[in-house]
Amino acid sequence: MDIGNSNTTMGLFGDRNLLGHWRISTNLEQTADELGFLVTGLIKNAKMDNVRVDGISISSVVPSVMYAVEEMAQTYLGQSPLVVGPGIRTGLVIKYDNPKEAGSDRIANAVAAIESYGAPVIIVDFGTATTFTVVDEHRQYLGGVIAPGVKISAEALFRRASKLPHIDLVRPASVIGRNTVSSMQSGLVYGFAGQVDGIVRRIIAEVGSPYRVVATGGLARVVSPHSETIVDVDPFLTLKGLQLIWERNRGRHEYNKM
């Protein structure tokens, strides 16, 4: 489970094979029972209700929901979850000034990107915020960039400019918009593609060597085709990283105490 500010993404793995995946809204008011009913219902609806859950791995940037999530995991899935944070084995060397500040979703992204694409690597995650995570050839998590996300920027336009309509975030027919909607779509899609390329090029200039660029997140497939620096798009990168982290901590004493 990857719990973000806007959405929670869940994946069910058999070994390293992703058998099913779901995206739900992150609800700060949801109880453990409500969440348990929803999660088990999604698994049942996918005709996988006969699957035995051996473990649960969680990244979260929303601390206030964790009590309900952990209670749900124990009550409805029969497992105490592994929550990615300090003391968890990841295979990374965290070079943040304060390693505890490194986002658990970004750590999961880095673990999966190294496994699938090698290092050095830059991961661009199009979520509520657009984050850039930089991992060098020694698997050192160097840090990165956090910028407002595509949806945050779109919502700011809607709120601040009363005449601008809500729009679908899709690529317009041309960069030059011929109406208000296509002009806004162009600004968001091509604007964020340009932002990605500008930041990636500055990162590469700063580190002094080329890095592979991998994109993930809900809007990665919308923006990535218009970027000149993104090489790979992997929409399930975070979930894959959580599965790998669970593997690396399976059976450890610290995990068993959770």
Q: Could you list the active site residues? A: 105
SS3 63: helix
Q: Residue 155 corresponds to which tokens in the numbers above? A: 């919502």
216 is in an annotated binding site: no
End-to-end Cα distance, the chain: 17
Q: Is 57 annotated as a binding residue?
A: no
Is 141 known to sit in a ligand binding site? no
CB–CB of 23/7 below 8 Å? yes
Residue 133 assigned ligand-binding role: no
How far, in Å, CA of 191 to CA of 223, rounded?
9
Q: Answer yes or no: is 229 a known binding residue.
A: no
Residue 128 annotated as part of some ligand binding site: yes
The count of other CB atoms within 10 Å of the CB of residue 173 is 10
Residue 6, annotated ligand binder?
yes
Instruction: Report whether 190 belongs to an annotated binding site.
Output: no
94: which DSSP letter? E
d(CA 152, CA 31): 27
Residue 2 counted as an annotated binding residue: yes
Q: Is 105 flagged in the annotation as binding?
A: yes
The answer to whether 9 is a known ligand-binding residue is yes
Angle 31-32-34 from CA coordinates, rounded to 5°: 65
Rounded distance, CA 79 to CA 71, Å?
A: 9
Q: What backbone phi and psi angles, to 5 degrees, belong to 169? A: -85, 85
Locate 32 and state its tokens.
């453990």
Q: Is 59 part of any known ligand binding site?
A: no
Pick out the residues of the known binding site for substrate: 96, 103-106, 180
Pick out the residues of the known binding site for ATP: 2-9, 128
Pick out the residues of the known binding site for K(+): 125
Pick out the residues of the known binding site: 2-9, 96, 103-106, 125, 128, 180
